[in-house]
Amino acid sequence: MTISWDNVWTYYNSSDNKIDLMLVNYLNLDNNYKQLKKNKYSSEFHDNEIIKKFTISLIECNGLTIESYKYLLKSVPNTLNRWNNLGLENLDEDKVMYLINNHFLTLSESNYDFLREIFPNLKITLIEDNQQFLIQAINDEELSLTTDEVDSILNSINIKTSIKSNLLANFARERIINETEIAKIAGIVFSEIGYKKLKYSEINSISKSANSNTIRMKILENHFDQLIDPEIQTLVSDLSGDYKRMFIKNKRPRFNNTKENLNLIERLYQKNLIKKFSFEKEGKYIRTLANTS
């Protein structure tokens, strides 16, 4: 028999639209699946409904070797990707992983619940592959996540910062205030994208949880104009180093002349939160003088 998709679909159609053992054995032959991959996945002799049904049967077939499975599914066009409500319960994990990594599964409640129950290690992988749809799926109540699942998303190196920011801003605001680890992640995420809509309580929690002055300063800079003077003084005082002395009467702390320090000191001076500042050692350092009252 000539190796062609048309012949495969003809046999499939005559077998009550099932991939039986004979067809499985045929598709598992090295020469056959490699030759089929080279052929166009379309037909002049079979309607789209037959091809669609075969594609679903192919995806659900665990009798294929993983090599055959990958080769054959590489032939499937993008128009037949992104499936929902398939019968995947009999598939081995490596086949389900292949489906996710190659965009065959949508971010739907049924797909996610299936992975949550059968292959829990792959549920976040599904979100990573469909992350552009995550926020909309949550908003539309098509997907509900546990706290642990949200944490896994926030800790994933494969989720874009913009997605994490949206998730934090819309679904984890209270946790930023109450949970150190979430506040720490929020600091990293919001400082990176320049988020400017935090409340003082959230900024304060992030400042106390952050691992670096860089993050604290970026968060402060992005919200400087909306904060009142005592809030600014508290946040600056929380910075690691000599920053608290900037507000102690007659103290003259010295700082390295970095872009971050200069920007902060200039803004404090503009708000009359320090009396003055000057440069030392040919501009290498900045010396500040606290107000006298």
Q: For residue range 191-222, what is the model confidence (pLDDT) as tens digits?
A: 999 999 999 999 999 999 999 999 999 999 99
Q: What is the pLDDT of residue 250?
A: 87
* pLDDT band, residue 176 (cuts 50/70/90): very high
DSSP 8-state assignment for residue 194? T
pLDDT at 24 over 90: yes
Count of domains in the chain? 2
- DSSP H helical ranges for 120-212: 123-129, 134-139, 147-155, 161-171, 173-178, 180-193, 200-209
Whether 138 maps to a domain, the answer reads no
Predicted confidence (pLDDT) per residue in 251-273, tens digit: 999 999 999 999 999 999 999 99
Widest Cα–Cα separation across the chain: 96
Whether 235 maps to a domain, the answer reads no
pLDDT (mean) for 167-192: 96
Q: Pick from 225, 167, 172: which is nearest to 193 by CA?
A: 167
CA 17 → CA 10, 12, 32, 71, 96, distances in Å?
Answer: 10, 5, 20, 21, 22
Whether 201 maps to a domain, the answer reads no
DSSP 8-state assignment for residue 255? E
pLDDT more than 90, % of the chain = 90
Q: Which residue, 35, 57, 80, sits at the end of a domain? A: 80
pLDDT more than 70, % of the chain = 99
Token pair of 128, please?
């990573």
* pLDDT band, residue 292 (cuts 50/70/90): confident
Query: What is the average pLDDT score of the chain?
Result: 94
pTM: 0.86
Range of the domain at 279: 241-293
Q: Pick from 79, 82, 10, 87: which is nearest to 50 by CA?
A: 10
DSSP result, 69-116: HHHHHTTS-GGG--B-S---TTS-HHHHHHHHHTT-B---HHHHHHHH
Q: What is the pLDDT of residue 1?
A: 67
Token pair of 227, please?
């904060």
* pLDDT band, residue 77 (cuts 50/70/90): confident
pLDDT at 63 over 80: yes
